[in-house]
Amino acid sequence: MKTDLAGPAPRWARRKQARPAELLAAALDVFVERGFAATRLDDIALRAGVTKGTLYLYYDSKEDLLKAVVRAGMVPVVREAEAMVAHFTGSTAELMRNLAAVWWNAIGATRLSGIPKLVIAEAGNFPEVARLYHDEVIRPVSELIGRLLQRGMDSGEFRSVDADYMQRIAMAPLVMLNLWMHSFSRYDAYALDPPRYLAAYLDILLAGLAPRSETQGNRSCR
């Protein structure tokens, strides 16, 4: 009987192709719930519904799993943001608001938001993981914010600032939001509303970057 090579893949083949994504989803859930150091490969295998041996077919270690989680979940968002900046034709303020929405929808409002806290907590014990996160997430995001600041200064939307340090300052409230959501938010008497937080953050940031009038400049020198 002739085999139709263009037909759908056998069920076992489809399952095998989907398995890495399933393993990463399980790993992300367990990492965020238990922390990196406390997580065992057995825990991830159990959550994914596979044997530990199956897990080793795809990933050599717990460190490799976390690296894969970062690369599959965080890095594509950074690439999307870079593409948006490269092609956006509107104002820099509008671009910043759009990027904040992209970050919130893709990371902040998802389980991926737990990764920054996890990496910060384990940076000293697992330097290889911290280095990967720094090189593939933190550094590109820092450079992207630096380009945004320069874009705004070049267009006259923003006043002249020290972009090298301002980009770090701009990142800090977003990191704090991630940390708070995965630590003290459960004890906070006033439930934090992340969209309101982001709106207030952008309001302060953009107001601080706005050009100062001559009168304001003279007043600040008194």
User: First and final CA of the chain: distance in angstroms?
Assistant: 92
Q: Kindly state whether residues 94 and 50 are assigned to the same domain.
A: no
Residue type, 190: Y
Domain count, the chain: 2
Angle at 91 between CA 87 and CA 96, to 5 degrees: 80
Listed range (56-65, 102-111, 189-198) with the worst mean pLDDT = 189-198
List the alpha helices (DSSP H) in 104-193: 114-122, 127-133, 139-155, 163-181
Q: Kindly state whether residues 22 and 115 are assigned to the same domain.
A: no
Segment 133-171, tens digit of pLDDT: 999 999 999 999 999 999 999 999 999 999 999 999 999
Total-model pTM? 0.82
Q: What is the pLDDT of residue 72?
A: 94
Segment 81-124, tens digit of pLDDT: 999 999 999 999 999 999 999 999 999 999 999 999 999 998 99
Q: Kindly state whether residues 109 and 190 are assigned to the same domain.
A: yes
Q: Average of pLDDT values for 26-41?
A: 93
Percent of the chain with pLDDT over 70: 87
Residue 89's domain spans which residues? 74-212
Q: Kindly state whether residues 86 and 53 are assigned to the same domain.
A: no
Q: What is the pLDDT of residue 4?
A: 44
- Residue 37 carries which DSSP code? T
Q: Write down the mean pLDDT value for the chain.
A: 87
State the CATH number of the domain containing residue 82. Answer: 1.10.357
